[in-house]
A and B are shown apart, each in its own frame.
Chain A
């Protein structure tokens, strides 16, 4: 890393040194170990591990449940953000404060609470059981848990956009004769889509890797409710480090791709807003 500017502010060496050291020890070296370890396996071994039926099925379960959950959160996130910014109603402050609950609550606690709630004996599970719908220990249960942990992402991404939204845009559209619904879909919606997409991407990435809140409610039946993180866990318990690492690598690649796409959205959005051809 070249040192380009000599700044008058002191502390460059010390702070950068500490930063890099801790970063290496805590993040870089451990992540590197993943790559190093996988490199020990041959390419064909890797492909064979990944394409095992059970593994493929776990990828599918993870992906589908994460996608559906994030989609629900995208829609509800926009609704919640809208309601919290535009309207006043009783208990509003309370609801606004509770949005971060999924971040503050340990995933294990969320996991057992949701399991108890949606099991056939639980409050909600019992209600649906009468219609023959099982929630806990099915993919629906997994999706419910993933919705829970993803709530804050879209809400908190869209809220600031709505809050900072210049009322002049709505007024301009109004004076030009637009109805409330046209104003929303043509003027406001395009403004919140990028933020919503970012929130969706972050929620999706989180859902893919989620373990604690899902492992209880899933029941972990192979081919049905086994998610990818769980397969890694069970491989580790059988000391099959090789398989665990390979699957982990695939998951890592998936999160990077998600992150990359989110970044892409944000860059494209900045381009439209800030100019440039």
Chain B
């Protein structure tokens, strides 16, 4: 449809303007607010808040939880994707639904269920006490909750790509006697590289930012069980607004890096698609 009439031009630019205003208001402004509030009292105050002992400890805890969550979800994601796409068995649909379940659960409930499973009310509690394992109100609990909320992120990226590709290449390799790990490494993985990276980035982003679930299960012990988002909350609730935003700005920077990484991966993934037959 070639020619644009005046009325369609008016519609076009009205829609574009509405979109830009919406995005600026809802997305850009909040971002800018964090930065402006963080530096409201100047750079020294900012620096102090960011290098504060508790902040540093929170950063380490966040990184630790994120890394563990990403690691376990990678193992899980790869196993689940392999199991669900390479084999036929009954109950696949139920399995997929169960794996996707955590995404639909409110983070508060996500924290609550671990509280119930490993906390004082649980029948497991006496056992844990005997072995001197602390899960609730300790780091392991935080890690578990983080794993829960990011559970299907990697498998959900891998499964569609694997399903679209089919199993022909892997079957051919298996018939020639190749072992499982070799097949995976040499044949399957190169094709899912970008989808995998994408899933890892999504998983890490969510893990770093998880708040609700961790809030329930952490016990808010400063310096011990405080992740970055929890630290932000504490500072904010103590009316230490500038430090709160200062710490928040760290997370904002991470978020921007994640967005850029996501765009790059998507761009590269699409490029790869064009080259392949």
Chain A residues close to B by CB (< 8 Å): 1-5, 7-12, 14-16, 18-19, 22-23, 26-31, 33-34, 37, 76, 79-80, 82-84, 87, 89, 91, 95, 97-110, 112-114, 116-117, 122-124, 147-148, 151, 170-171, 174, 180, 205, 208-212, 216, 229, 232-233, 236, 241, 244-245, 248, 251-252, 255-256, 258-259
A2 vs B78: C-alpha distance in the bound complex, in angstroms?
A: 22
Which of A5, A23, A124, A259 contacts B29, CB < 8 Å?
Answer: A124
Using a CB–CB cutoff of 8 Å, the interface residues on chain B facing chain A are 1, 5, 8, 11-12, 15-16, 18-20, 22-23, 25-31, 33-34, 37, 72, 75-76, 78-80, 82-84, 86-91, 95, 98-99, 101-102, 104-109, 112-117, 121-122, 144, 147-148, 151, 167, 170-171, 174-175, 179-180, 183-184, 202, 205-206, 208-212, 215-216, 228-230, 232-233, 236, 241, 244-245, 248, 251-252, 255-256, 258-260, 262-263
From A5, A8, A113, contact of B174 by CB (8 A): A8
Cα–Cα, bound, A50→B22 (Å): 38
The answer to whether A255 and B23 touch (CB under 8 A), given A15-B83, A104-B259, is: no
Residues of B within 8 A of A1 (CB): 89-91
Q: Give chain B residues whose Cβ lies under 8 Å from the Cβ of A76.
A: 18-19, 22
8 Å CB contact of A33 from B20, B28, B116, B212: B116
Q: Which of A3, A4, A26 touches B151 (beta carbons < 8 Å)?
A: A26
- Given contacts A26-B144, A83-B15, A233-B216, is CB(A209)–CB(B248) below 8 Å? no
Tell me the bound Cα distance from A4 to B184 in angstroms: 23
B171 touches A100 (CB 8 A): no
Chain A residue nearest in CB terms to B211:
A212
- Once A and B bind, how many residue pairs between them come within 8 Å at the CB atom? 282
Judge whether A31 and B101 touch: CB under 8 Å. yes
Does the CB pair A211–B211 fall under 8 Å? yes
In the complex, what's the smallest C-beta–C-beta distance from A66 to chain B, in angstroms?
Answer: 11
Whether B108 pairs with A22 at a CB distance below 8 angstroms is: no
Instruction: Tell me the interface secondary structure of chain A in the complex.
Output: helix
* Distance of A154 Cα from B263 Cα, bound (Å): 19
Are A15 and B82 touching (Cβ within 8 A)? Answer: yes
Given A18-B76, A83-B19, A233-B215, A113 and B34 contact (CB-CB distance below 8 Å): yes
Distance between Cα atoms of A237 and B108 in the complex (Å) = 12
